[in-house]
Amino acid sequence: MPPTSNRTLRLLGLTSAGLAVVSLGAGVVGALVLGSREADYFNNDSCRPHTAGLCDVLYNSYANSGMAELANIGFVASGAFGVAATVLLLASRGSVRSTTQVGLACGAGPGELGLACGGRF
């Protein structure tokens, strides 16, 4: 492939990687907000046994928030953009040898579910 084509593929790959990160963030925010609203509803003593008023408001806030959809769409889009970014970045390398080294490494990060990634581009 000509160098221009490689640069275009790399730019598209990096753009897809950025969109994957943004989508993942949207999915995480949606899941956290949904979890918070779910906790408000299920941990409220006035909702045992079911009574009208505050309980209905909390349930509607939980059930109709759209956060479950945001979380699902965010996670699926993140995976799709991540795959696209990987394919585009690998394709941009082609058979042309470059003096620039590209590296990406991930490992355990802070906290129980932490993930730390670093790269050299």
Kind and range of the H or E run holding 61: helix 54-63
The predicted-structure confidence for 25-60, as pLDDT tens digits, reads as follows 998 988 888 777 777 666 666 665 555 566 666 667
CA distances from 105 to 3, 6, 101, 112 (A): 26, 22, 13, 19
pTM for the whole structure = 0.60
